[in-house]
Structure 1
Amino acid sequence: MDIIPAIIVFIICSIVVVSIIDFIRGGGRKKVMEMRETRFSVEIFYTLLVIYLIVIIGFGLIYFTLSINNILLVENGELRHVSVAGSIIHSLYFSGVTLLTIGYGDITPIGIGRFIALVQALLGYVLPTAFVLRLVQTNHENRDSQ
């Protein structure tokens, strides 16, 4: 692998990891999240949506960057060469399907892409859990302070 795609993949991975860690720690801002009496919070929904979009786009860019050097994703069991726009669309689609653990099987990773997809699928399982645990912890801290 050339040095420039490796640097791009490292930068994207760093941004995704820092974003997730910042989210889990509660963000750089000491904004207190208060649980309202309603069962649905728009703020919580948007926060989770933004986190998922960051991860989908980040991993999609990793798949796209790696596909520049060689074919990383196989469509319907065949190696296909697609345009740059097609490669971006395939990468983002595969990233979303993998993160949301749907896994249709129409696009399959090969080589290092299998390990990257495994890590992304694990994040798809862990993110909601971390989100719920963070909300419970914040709610518990708010009750203790009152």
Structure 2
Amino acid sequence: MLSLIALAIIFGSLKQIFTSLEEEQKIFSFHLFISVLLLYTIITIGFGLLYSVLSVGGLEIFHDVPAASSETWMEEVSRSMYFSGVTLFTVGYGDLLPLGLGRWLALFEAMIGYALPAALVMKVWLHDKGNS
């Protein structure tokens, strides 16, 4: 259930940023900057919670290099948030390796992290071109 809520928050955030961009009058604004920061934060938290729930539920989502076991729920959430951030921003330090279902989730998250800046720039460019 928590996994579905996390996914709904992620997709709702993505929909909101593109809807607000259509209504935005300026090419760049403080509001847009904060919106983008919040979008990345929400996506990182959403995927982090998704990884945590699946990991605590018994699925091996990622492997630590070197291996370390998380002992508490908060340690698992912290590790998952870190993994989510590294994946979303396509940094890929290599200290956590996705496994099984985690590979597909990480691939999807990295795709969002990679495509989102290009989509935002294209949206602003099209908006600016339409106003000239």
Same-fold status (TM-score > 0.5): yes
Give the alignment's TM-score, normalised by structure 1. 0.79
Q: Which runs of 5+ in 2 are unaligned?
A: none
1:67-118 deviation per Cα after TM superposition (whole angstroms, max 9, x unaligned): 1112322111536243111101100000000000000010112221110000
**Can you list the C-alpha shifts for 1:2-60, whole angstroms capped at 9, x where unaligned?**
xxxxx221221122112212322x23x97433136xxxx43332222111111101100
The percentage of aligned residue pairs carrying the same residue is 33
Query: Considering only CA atoms, is the larger Rg found in Structure 1 or Structure 2?
Result: 1
The amino acid across from 1:19 in the alignment is S
Q: Which residue identity does 2:13 align to in structure 1?
A: S
**Deviation at 1:65?**
0.8
Task: Render the CA deviation track for 1:101-146: whole Å, top value 9, x for unaligned.
Answer: 0000101122211100000010111100111111112222333xxx
1:47 to 25, 30, 35: 35
Q: Which amino acid aligns with 2:53?
A: T
The two structures have a TM-score, normalised by structure 2, of 0.87
Cα distance in structure 1, aligned partners of 2:64 and 2:54: 16
Q: SS where residue 75 of structure 2 aligns?
A: helix
Q: Does 1:32 align with 2:20?
A: no
Alignment size in residue pairs: 131
Following superposition, which runs of at least 4 residues in structure 1 exceed 6 angstroms of deviation? Answer: none
The aligned residue for residue 10 of structure 2 is: 16
